[in-house]
Amino acid sequence: MSKETQKVKKQDKDISLNDMDSLEFSEWYGEILETAKIYDLRYPIKGCGVYLPYGFKIRRYSFEILRDLLDSTNHDETLFPMLIPETLLAKEGEHIKGFEDEVFWVTHGGKNELDVRLALRPTSETAIYHMMKQWLKVHTDLPFKLYQTVNTFRYETKHTRPLIRLREIMTFNEAHTAHSTKEECEAQVKEGMYVYSSFFESLAIPVLISKRPEWDKFPGAEYTTAYDTIYPDGKTMQIGTVHNLGQHFAKTFDLEFETAEGEKDYVYQSCYGISDRVIASIIAIHGDKNGLVIPPKVAPIQIAMVPLLFKGKEEIVLEKSNELYDKLKKFARIELDTRDIRPGRKFNDWELKGVPLRIELGPRDLENDKVMIFRRDTNEKFDVAIADLTAEYLVDLMETVTSDMAKKAYDAFLGHIEILNIEGIDNESLVETIKEALNNRKVVLIPFDEKLYNEEFEEQIGASILGECEFEGTKYISIAKTY
Amino acid sequence: MSKETQKVKKQDKDISLNDMDSLEFSEWYGEILETAKIYDLRYPIKGCGVYLPYGFKIRRYSFEILRDLLDSTNHDETLFPMLIPETLLAKEGEHIKGFEDEVFWVTHGGKNELDVRLALRPTSETAIYHMMKQWLKVHTDLPFKLYQTVNTFRYETKHTRPLIRLREIMTFNEAHTAHSTKEECEAQVKEGMYVYSSFFESLAIPVLISKRPEWDKFPGAEYTTAYDTIYPDGKTMQIGTVHNLGQHFAKTFDLEFETAEGEKDYVYQSCYGISDRVIASIIAIHGDKNGLVIPPKVAPIQIAMVPLLFKGKEEIVLEKSNELYDKLKKFARIELDTRDIRPGRKFNDWELKGVPLRIELGPRDLENDKVMIFRRDTNEKFDVAIADLTAEYLVDLMETVTSDMAKKAYDAFLGHIEILNIEGIDNESLVETIKEALNNRKVVLIPFDEKLYNEEFEEQIGASILGECEFEGTKYISIAKTY
C-alpha cells in the first residue's frame, strides 16, 4: 500500500490513481469530466467543448490566483484581437513555420471573399508586437509587461483530449514583456518563473522544470523553460512555458528604441503562458477513484453541510444546521444540502465533486454541541465542538488540507521519478534500461551528458527528451513519455 | 448655461458635451480613447482594436458588477465554443437570415479545406441550445439559467466605431434561460430587466426602455425589449437587449421535456445581452471637455494624491503623503503621484483620466492637518481635516459622487427628450415637426398610435422607431436617430 493511503480511516482499499495505466487513466478522466460536470465534449466540432458551471468555477478561481500574481508583479492586463492578418502572422519566418499546419483560416465575411486571409490566433506574439511598435520610441517607454486571458486555436490533427489538446483552447493566459537591456529581460524571465512556481504551489501541483532542447523550443525563442507535471500513468504534461525571446522578434517587428545614451537598440523580450491544462492537472493530480479532490483555494464549494435528518429530529437538526450555515457562509464557499435523498448519496455526490470538507450534522452530535468533519483529501473523519468552528479554525484547516495535498502529490510525483546511474553502461543497455523505466510509468533522469543530448538519442528511446533539468542540485537530462 | 454646470467653482465656461453635434462628438470620442489610453484602434484589421490597461480595468470592474448581479440571481457562468458549424447556425431559419451577411467563415484548417464551414459566433443561441438539448429530459432539469462573457464577431460593412460597432465585439455578456412554463419565462424576462436596470444604475447611465417593433426585434424572438441611452449628440445607443424567445428556438432545437403531468412540452426561453457598448457609454455619457469622468465603482483609480512639493518643504509633504497613502489604500484604489512634473500637469492628467477624487497635499494645508479635495464630476474643491478622512467618509463621498453623476446624466437625458402633442396635427406637419426635433438633437416621444407604428412612417421621418415606450406612466412611440 502506498504511503498516502495509510492514513485512510474510512476505506482500506487503495483509492489512489497511481496503479493506473494510460488507458485506465484516460477512462477515469473522461468519466470524471462528465459525472462531476466539469466539461462537456459533446459539441459538434472535434476538440471543442463546453465549460459547465462547476468546471467554470474551478477555472475562474484558478485563473484569479494567476491574475493576482501577475497584477501584484506589475503586469498590466489587456485584450488584443483574436484575428491576425496572414501578412502579420507570416512576418516572423520561424514562428509561422512552427504554426502554419495548425492555423484556422477565415476566408469569407458574409458572402464576400476577404482580400487577406485572417488567422484565428494560435498565440498572440505577432498581434501584440505589432502594437508594441506603435507604443515604443524611447527607453522611458519601457518596460512593457502585458498579459491577457483569451481563447486561442489550433487545428489539431492528432487525437484531441478535453482541456488537454483542444482545437479551441478556451483559456490561454499569455504574458508578453519588452525591456531595454538583456539583463532586465533575464530578470523578467526569472520573475515569470517565480509567478508560475507560486501559481502551481497554490494549486498543490508538483512540477519538474526543464530547459527545453534546441529542437523543441518555442518557434522564435532563444530558449524555453517548461513546467511539466506527472500524471498517474507516468506521462508528463506540459502545463506552463516561459520563453526568453532575445531580440529575435524585436528585429522582425522593428521594436527599435532610443537608449538612455541616445543610441538605437532593439528591445529584449520574454513571454510566458498557461492554459486550460492547469485545470486538467488539478483533476488528474489530486483526483482518486472516488472522484475529484479540489484544493480549497479553487474549490467552487469548500464545505458541504449535510444534516442527518433522522425521524422526529428533523426540526432541531435543520434549525441548528441553518444557524451554523449562516455563521460559516461568511468565511467560506459553503452549501447546505437539504435535498430529499439519503445521506449516503449526498456523501458520494460531494466526494465525487471533490469538496474539501464535509460537515455532517447528526442529532446525537448536535446534542453534544458537536459536528463531524470529513476531509476529502485523507478520508479522515473527526468531531469538532461547534464553538470551535471559527473563521480561524476553518482557514487553518483548509491550509492544512492544501499542504497535505501538496505533500501527497509530491510523494506520488517522486514515486514516478527514476534517477539512472549511467556510468560504464553501453548505449544499447542504456536505451533498454530507459525504455523499461518509461514502461514502468517512470520519468527518467540521467546525469547530463552532451553526447546523449540530441534528437538521435531521443529517437532511439522512442520518448521525449524534456530537456536540461536541475533536480535536487544535480543537472540531468529529463526523459518522459508525454501528453 | 445648462443646469449641471452651475455648480462649477473652478471654471466658468461650460465644459459639458451637450452642445456638440455628431461630428464634434465623434472627434471628442476618438481623441479621448487615445489620450486616456482606453482602446487603440491602430490594429491592422478594420473594426478590431486593443483594450489598453486603463480601458481594460474599466471593462473589468464594470463587468464584475454585472457578473455579481447575475450570480446573485442564480445564473450559472459557463463557456461555450467560439466556432459554430454552418449546419448548426443555419438550423433556425429566421435567425440565420438575420445574420448571414455578417458572418465570418473559417474554411481551412492548416492546408486542408474543411468539410463543413465554421462560423465565428455572431451570437451563441445555436451553440447553446444544441447543448441544452443534451441536458434536458424532464421538468426537474429546468430551469437553465446560464451566461457567458465572450468575444463575438460581425462582418460589419458599415462604418465601424471603436467599442460601438466592431467586427470583433471583444466583450459580449449573454445570458440564456429555459423554463417549463410560459409564466416562469415571463418572470425571467423581468428578472433579466431588473439585472440590467440595476447594472446601468450602478454606472449612473440613464436609459429609455422600449419594446422594439416587430420589424426590428431579434431574429427568432417573440419580442425584444431594449435599453437605449442618449449620447450628447442626441443619437441613441442601444446598450442592452432582453428577448423573450417563446418556444421558437425550442421547437427548432427540439428542446422537448416531460412535464410534471407526464406530458411532453417544449421549453420557453429568454436571452439577454450586453456588450462593450456599455464601456463606450460610460465614456460618452459622463465625459466632458476636460476628459473622462468615471463612476467611482468602476474607476481604475478612485483617488489620485498629488503632493505639492514647494521648495524646502518636500520632505515633510512627502512624509505626510506617504502616511495618508498607506492609510487610504486599504479602502480605495489610490495612486500617489510623485512624478517630477509640475502639479498643473498632474491635475490635467488625472482629470483627463476621469479619476473621481483628487487629494492635493500642500505644505500650508498640512500644517493645519488638512488636505484639499477636488471632485472631478462637479469641479468643486474643498478642504477636509486629515482626521476626517476615514473609510466611511470616502465611501460616503464616492456614493455622493455616483448619485450626483446620475442626476447630472439624467438631467442631460431629459434635456434630450421631447414629448410631442400630436392631436389634430396632419401627417405632413407631424413628420416635419419630428424631423425638426430630431435635428435639434432630441429623442421624440409621441403618444402611442397604432396607425403610426409601422415601417412606412419610419421611412417618412428618416429615423428609427425605437418602439413602444412607457415614460412617466404614459405609453409612447419612441423615435430617434440611432447609432
pLDDT tens per residue, range B176-235: 999 999 999 999 999 999 999 999 999 999 999 999 999 999 988 999 999 999 999 999
Of A56, A146, A150, the CB nearest to B77: A56
Whether the pLDDT of residue B283 is over 50: the answer is yes
Whether the pLDDT of residue A158 is over 90: the answer is no
Under an 8 A CB cutoff, do B49 and A111 touch? no
The domain made up of B3-286 is a member of CATH 3.30.930.10: yes
Mean pLDDT is lowest, of A4-13, A162-171, A374-383, for A4-13
State the Cα–Cα distance between residues B260 and A166, nearest whole angstrom: 39
Under an 8 A CB cutoff, do A53 and B88 touch? no
- The domain spans of chain B are 3-286, 296-400, 415-480
Contact residues for B460 (Cβ-Cβ < 8 A; gap 6+): B427, B431
Q: What percent of chain A has pLDDT over 70?
A: 98
> Which has more confidence, A14 or B355?
B355
User: By CB neighbour count within 10 A (0-12 exposed, 13-18 middle, 19+ buried), where does A70 fall?
Assistant: buried
Residue A51 C-alpha cell reads as: 465549460
State the Cα–Cα distance between residues A190 and A198, nearest whole angstrom: 12
Q: H or E stretch including B146?
A: strand B144-153
| Dihedral angle computed from the Cα positions of residues A102, A106, A107 and A113, in that order, rounded to the nearest 10 degrees | -170
Of B78, B109, B167, the CB nearest to A51: B78
Mean pLDDT of B349-355: 98
Helices (DSSP H) in B233-340: which residue ranges? Answer: 248-252, 277-286, 314-328
Please state which CATH number belongs to domain A416-480. 3.30.110.30
Topology annotation, domain B296-400: Rossmann fold (3.40.50)
Whether the pLDDT of residue B9 is over 80: the answer is no
Mean pLDDT of A427-438: 96
Interchain contact B118–A (C-beta under 8 A): yes
Mean pLDDT is lowest, of A2-16, A350-364, B302-316, B379-393, for A2-16
Mean pLDDT of chain A: 95
- Give pLDDT, residue A8: 43
Whether the pLDDT of residue B244 is over 70: the answer is yes
Mean pLDDT of A253-277: 98
Q: Which DSSP category does B50 fall into?
A: E
Confidence grade of residue B10 (pLDDT, cut at 50, 70, 90): low
Mean pLDDT is lowest, of A372-386, B310-324, B387-401, for B310-324
Per the listing, cell 546525469 goes with: A447
Q: What percent of chain B has pLDDT over 90?
A: 92
Whether the pLDDT of residue A7 is over 70: the answer is no
- Give pLDDT, residue B97: 83
Whether the pLDDT of residue B5 is over 50: the answer is no
β-sheet with A303-307: strand ranges across = A334-336, A303-307, A357-361, A370-375, A381-385
Taking Cα atoms as reference points, which of B233, B188, B192, B229 lies closest to residue B209? B229
Instruction: Find the closest chain B residue to A44 by CA distance.
Output: B85
Interchain contact B391–A (C-beta under 8 A): no
Instruction: Find the closest chain A residue to B166 by CA distance.
Output: A81
Contact residues for B176 (Cβ-Cβ < 8 A; gap 6+): B124, B125, B128, B129, B132, B144, B146, B147, B269, B270, B271
Q: What percent of chain A has pLDDT over 90?
A: 91
Instruction: Please state whether the peptide bond connecting residue B206 to the residue before it is cis, i.e. omega within 30 degrees of 0.
Output: no
State the Cα–Cα distance between residues B94 and B217, nearest whole angstrom: 11
Of A77, A102, A109, the CB nearest to B155: A109
Count the alpha carbons within 13 Å of A390 in the hemisphere toward its beta carbon: 5
Q: If you write DSSP's letter for every residue of A286-332 in order, what string do you get?
A: H-BTTB----GGG-S-SEEEEE---TT-HHHHHHHHHHHHHHHTTTS
ipTM: 0.95
8 A C-beta contact, residue A285 and residue A229: yes
A152 CB neighbour count, 10 Å cutoff: 19
Residue A433 C-alpha cell reads as: 534500461
Confidence grade of residue B13 (pLDDT, cut at 50, 70, 90): confident
Helices (DSSP H) in B287-388: which residue ranges? Answer: 314-328, 343-352, 363-367
Residue B337 C-alpha cell reads as: 503621484
Contact residues for B180 (Cβ-Cβ < 8 A; gap 6+): B139, B142, B143, B257, B259, B260, B265, B267, B268
Interchain contact A40–B (C-beta under 8 A): yes
Radius of gyration of chain B (CA): 25
- Give pLDDT, residue B11: 56
- Give pLDDT, residue B4: 38
Confidence grade of residue A13 (pLDDT, cut at 50, 70, 90): confident
Confidence grade of residue B343 (pLDDT, cut at 50, 70, 90): very high
CATH architecture, range A296-397: 3-Layer(aba) Sandwich (3.40)
Contact residues for A330 (Cβ-Cβ < 8 A; gap 6+): A391
Interface test with A, best of B42, B83, B107, B341 (most A CBs within 10 A): B83
The domain made up of B415-480 is a member of CATH 3.30.110.30: yes
Residue A405 C-alpha cell reads as: 495535498
A434 CB neighbour count, 10 Å cutoff: 23
Residue B285, min C-alpha distance to chain A (Å): 24
* The dihedral sign for the CA sequence A41, A42, A48, A49: negative
Topology annotation, domain A17-286: BirA Bifunctional Protein; domain 2 (3.30.930)
| Dihedral angle computed from the Cα positions of residues B89, B90, B94 and B97, in that order, rounded to the nearest 10 degrees | 90
- Give pLDDT, residue B469: 97
Q: In chain B, what residues touch A100 (CB-CB under 8 Å)?
A: 110-111
Q: In chain B, what residues touch A87 (CB-CB under 8 Å)?
A: 44
Under an 8 A CB cutoff, do A85 and B57 touch? no
> Which has more confidence, B381 or B158?
B381
